[in-house]
């Protein structure tokens, strides 16, 4: 065993973790099951509901969730209900649309004005501008239960109509874990003067929060989850992690240690193939030392920025092609590993549905559940979190294998780089866009920001 592997394993083993019982862990395998579980949990919570997501959308599914929260508050007035979303995202329309008069925030205000029950919806301004970082914390706490997913709340994530966005959905019945996640939200988010109540009659502008925001941003870079735990290398256990920024980011550091510690087999899920340089180096290193690597990534048509042919094209629609170019280059670089079977690439596609899975599974032991996209933006700009599971006795292997089998059902296995479309196969307007971006070298900037 090399010194780096040994040190990385020691780091993961020595992390303070919360003990878990296998019976307290479950996994859902579809977006419809996720929606059903969400509504059930809302309807049955007795003390607290804390929901952290990128957004709660003003559409049919978003309204169903919000109305369920208000109904729960009406039936149980003592219930503590707080929803955390991104401050900027809540006050604009969808990407590519004209400036909206009615936004998610105006909808929140209208609902609270009509019901006046005190359901709190808090907007987190991670950066002064959305382009440079968003609130990307995930996790839904109902009393002592944690439902962890990278999903947000809208029609496609909750499969309300014909289309869905596929994610991961894990459930933990563990009071210490739930308490730690709520404690973090209360101490680091709710208590900050930079966080705005989005369903109050007046919502401050980001300029009004300037001084409080400066301190808030500084605090977030140093923030971490607190909990009663210890190093438990031989026991099924879990550790919540968070991070913001490239320096001293605990979540990023743990992700790298997982890759560096892997000796036999690694599985990676990511919707966008756009790896930070540090992870690209770690992956090249583990392939060189013979580790088996499986990467499951969304097909360009399963990307949430993809614009089908025949629909009006916007510049943002070039992103899925840019990411596919990255994947093709990676496959060409490691073609020998593809041919030998050491590297397995799976492209996920299911009709017009989209792919949003993130996470890592190392040596059938360490599991990372996260909303982290494993891309430069998540690595440097967004506020991210994740749950590291240590499963030394493989008590959860049955659930993990079942989840992986469900995911792989809708994938194409890539055995040669030529199976992946190149620029020559793209529509003419996409081809021109990518060539122009490369000529002026703006493609590197885009990859770092989106």
User: Both tokens of residue 397?
Assistant: 């292997």
Q: Is 75 a catalytic residue?
A: no
Catalytic residue among 188, 299, 382, 384: 384
356 has catalytic annotation: yes
Question: Out of 356, 382, 391, 403, which one is annotated catalytic?
Answer: 356
The DSSP bridge pattern shows strands 292-298 and 265-270 to be parallel
CA–CA distance, 356 with 373 (Å, rounded to integer): 9
Is 429 one of the catalytic residues?
Answer: no
| Distance of alpha carbon 405 from alpha carbon 38, whole angstroms | 24
Q: Which is the catalytic residue, given 136, 159, 213, 346?
A: 136
167 catalytic, yes or no? yes
HEC secondary structure over the chain? CCHHHHHHHHHHHHCEEEECCHHHEEEECCHHHHHHHHHHHHHHCCCEEEEECCCECCCHHHHHHHHHHHHHHHHCCCCEEEEEEECCHHHCCCCCCCCCCCCHHHHHHHHHHHHCCCCEEEEECCCCCHHHCCECCCEEEECCEEEECCCCECCCCCCCCCCCEECCEEEEECHHHHHHHHHHHHHHHHCCCCCEECCCCCCCCHHHHHHHHHHHHHHHHHCCCCCCCEECCCCCEEEEEEECCCCCCHHHHHHHHHHHHCCCEEEEEECCCCCCHHHHHHHHHHHHCCCEEEEEEECHHHCCCCCCCCCCCCHHHHHHHHHHHHHHHHHHHCHHHHHHCCEEEEEECCCCCEECCCEEEECCCEEEEECCCCCHHHHHCCEEEEEEEECCCCCCHHHHHHHHHHHHCCEEEECCHHHCCCHHHCCHHHHHHHHHHHHCCHHHHHHHHC
Any idea which residues carry the catalytic annotation?
136, 167, 356, 384
């Amino acid at each position: 065993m090399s010194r780096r592997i040994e040190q990385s394993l020691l780091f993961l083993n020595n992390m303070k973790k919360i003990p878990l019982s296998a019976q307290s862990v479950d996994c859902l395998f579809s977006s419809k099951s996720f929606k059903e579980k969400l509504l059930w949990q809302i309807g049955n919570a007795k003390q607290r509901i804390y929901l952290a997501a990128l957004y709660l959308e003003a559409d049919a599914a978003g309204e169903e969730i919000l109305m369920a929260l208000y109904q729960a508050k009406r039936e149980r007035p003592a219930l503590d209900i707080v929803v955390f979303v991104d401050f900027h995202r809540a006050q604009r329309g969808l990407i590519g649309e004209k400036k909206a008069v009615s936004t998610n925030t105006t909808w929140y205000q209208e609902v609270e004005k009509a019901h006046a029950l005190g359901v709190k919806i808090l907007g987190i301004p991670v950066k002064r501008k959305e382009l440079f970082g968003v609130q990307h914390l995930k996790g839904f706490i109902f009393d002592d239960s944690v439902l962890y997913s990278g999903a947000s709340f809208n029609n496609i994530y909750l499969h309300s109509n014909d289309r869905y966005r596929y994610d991961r959905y894990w459930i933990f019945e563990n009071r210490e874990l739930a308490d730690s996640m709520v404690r973090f939200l209360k101490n680091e988010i709710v208590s900050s003067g930079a966080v705005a109540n989005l369903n109050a009659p007046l919502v401050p502008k980001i300029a009004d929060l300037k001084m409080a925001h400066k301190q808030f941003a500084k605090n977030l870079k140093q923030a971490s989850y607190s909990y009663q735990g210890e190093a438990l290398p031989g026991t099924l256990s879990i550790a919540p992690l968070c991070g913001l920024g490239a320096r001293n980011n605990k979540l990023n550091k743990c992700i790298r240690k997982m890759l560096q510690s892997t000796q036999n087999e690694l599985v990676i899920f990511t919707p966008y193939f756009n790896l930070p340089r540090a992870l690209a180096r770690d992956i090249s290193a583990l392939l060189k030392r013979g580790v088996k690597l499986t990467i499951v990534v969304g097909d360009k048509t399963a990307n949430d920025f993809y614009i089908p042919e025949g629909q009006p094209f916007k510049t943002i629609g070039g992103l899925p092609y840019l990411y596919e170019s990255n994947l093709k280059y990676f496959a060409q670089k490691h073609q020998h590993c593809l041919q030998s079977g050491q590297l397995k690439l799976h492209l996920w596609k299911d009709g017009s549905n989209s792919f949003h899975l993130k996470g890592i599974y190392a040596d059938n032991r360490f599991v990372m559940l996260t909303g982290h996209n494993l891309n430069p933006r998540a690595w440097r700009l967004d506020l991210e979190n994740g749950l590291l599971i240590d499963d030394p006795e493989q008590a959860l292997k049955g659930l993990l294998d079942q989840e992986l089998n469900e995911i792989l059902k809708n994938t194409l296995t890539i055995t040669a780089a030529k199976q992946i479309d190149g620029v020559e196969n793209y529509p003419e307007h996409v081809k021109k866009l990518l060539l122009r971006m490369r000529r002026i070298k703006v493609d590197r900037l885009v990859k770092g920001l989106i």
